[in-house]
Amino acid sequence: MYINGLHVESDSKEMIEVINPATNKVIASVPKGGASEAKKAVDAAHAAFKAWSSKTANERSLYLMKWFQLIDEHKEELGRIMTEEQGKPLKEAIGEINYANSFISWYAEEGKRIYGETIPASHPNKRILVQKQPVGVIAAITPWNFPAAMITRKVGPALAAGCTAVVKPASQTPLTALRLAELAGEAGIPDGVINVVTGNARAIGDAWLEDPRVRKITFTGSTEIGKLLMKGAADTVKKISLELGGHAPFIVMDDADLDKAIEGVIGSKFRNAGQTCICTNRIYVHESIVDQFNEKFQSAVNNLKVGNGIEEGIDVGPLIDENALEKVEEHVNDALDKGAKLIQGGKRTSTGGGYYFEPTIISSVTDEMMCMHEETFGPLAPVTTFKTEEEVIERANHSQYGLAAYVFTENIGRAIRISEQLEYGIVGLNDGLPSVAQAPFGGFKESGLGREGGHYGIDEYVEVKYISIAF
């Protein structure tokens, strides 16, 4: 673990093994920390807060830029660590490092623009001043699908705003997180400003929820755990941001540019082997073009190369573990049992002992099939058809989730109408890959609370203070 600038073991000396999902082999082990280590991390972050928050935004920006530079210099190494613990192809892993790093450079700048306000007073001898201050120690709990970006998206704005952080990475992918924290130390970011605790999620999470010094919980992961954290945060009334599950509809209108739509759906569906919260889950194609769409889609999916992402030319790596494979299988079997047609793929592949599943397309899918309302988190693309704009909007909105939705159309009026009616925090209009550091990422409904990215992302880490001046 990395606490107060030091590598530390857990009190119990117990370890958790990290497995390469491409080979099912143990590649490392990390300490199994719990409540006591979680508390030590908060002690360190709390002690570091005063000095860190007293620095000017310019000074903090320089530290962040140094960290950015070191991450950039080590992106190949970080990418390899990520591919080994997470499975995504090396090119994609290095792409994630660049994306993750863009949050550090962007917030290094944005931290300088945490502007306050003066408000006209209603009394002649008063002035109203509004300023923003860092919330204090923040706790970030992150998932395994983006081992770097889910951390920098939280820690970047937090540090820029003057907060200090305790981080618990997912147990499947702690190595990228630990290396990032080490690089922060090498960049000169003072001890205690970033701390990484690995181990028992429940024990660590509960310790942070109970600790009144932790003023903010920021979480990316399942809706189920997000709800638990939201309830747990109530006792000490912490601020909370949640990036939870999604169930993204991908709508292809009859006037869409089909090549663009295929490129969009391939990126959105098969990136990270379908394991992202904004991955396409349901594909709605206008009935008049579905045969053409399926033909092009199948030929594109057929070209995707599945294998160990550390090798050259791989497009789709393994899933994270056996449970993930079982879930995809369950969704495929459920759909086929209920009358869906298999167009491509449909089963595990046994490459080198890893957790591989073939990129899969099924068609003639209906709304009661599991894959149409539960998050598959795997490389399964279910295609269904629709007749009218009204129908597809209604079906797309019929979900407890509201993270990302995609619409492909060349008609401007229709594009605006549909985008505005979709109950989703992110709409990719002719765009399958909408995530960038400068835009607000987040969901409606049970997909979460708060936004990450852009100037919205920094608001999550500041308190608003109003100073009433009488003279």
- Span near ligand ADP by CB under 6 A; candidates 62-70, 222-230, 252-260, 347-355: 222-230
- Span near ligand ADP by CB under 6 A; candidates 56-64, 217-225, 233-241, 419-427: 217-225
Dihedral sign from CA coordinates of 68, 73, 76, 81: negative
- Check residue 201 for interaction with ligand ADP (CB under 6 A): yes
CA distances for 180 relative to 2, 5, 371, angstroms:
10, 12, 35
- Of 116 and 232, the one with the shorter C-beta distance to ligand ADP is 232
Write each residue from 122 to 161 as x if it is in contact with ligand ADP (CB under 6 A), else as -, in one continuous string: -------------------xxxx-----------------
Query: 297: which 2 tokens?
Result: 């889609």
Q: Measured from the CB of residue 141, what is the shortest distance to ligand ADP in angstroms?
A: 5
Q: How many residues bind ligand ADP (CB under 6 A)?
A: 14
Exactly one of 35, 138, 140, 170 binds ligand ADP (CB under 6 A); that residue is 170
DSSP for residue 452: B
Q: Are 241 and 449 in contact (CB under 8 A)?
A: yes
- Of 132 and 247, the one with the shorter C-beta distance to ligand ADP is 247
Amino acid at 6: L
- Check residue 205 for interaction with ligand ADP (CB under 6 A): yes
Residue 443's nearest CA partner among 433, 452, 456 is: 452
Q: Measured from the CB of residue 228, what is the shortest distance to ligand ADP in angstroms?
A: 5
- Check residue 228 for interaction with ligand ADP (CB under 6 A): yes
Measured in whole angstroms, the distance separating CA 137 from the mean position of its chain's CA atoms is 21
CB-count burial class (<10 Å; 0-12, 13-18, 19+) for 442: buried
CA dist 47 and 62 (Å) reads 21
Measured in whole angstroms, the distance separating CA 171 from the mean position of its chain's CA atoms is 16
CA dist 71 and 84 (Å) reads 18
Active-site annotation holder among 85, 243, 358, 375: 243
Q: Measured from the CB of residue 190, what is the shortest distance to ligand ADP in angstroms?
A: 25
- Check residue 53 for interaction with ligand ADP (CB under 6 A): no
Q: Are 106 and 116 in contact (CB under 8 A)?
A: no
- Of 127 and 213, the one with the shorter C-beta distance to ligand ADP is 213
277 included as an active-site residue: yes
Catalytic residues: 243, 277
Which residues are at the interface with ligand ADP (CB under 6 A)? Answer: 141-144, 168, 170-171, 201-202, 205, 221-222, 225, 228
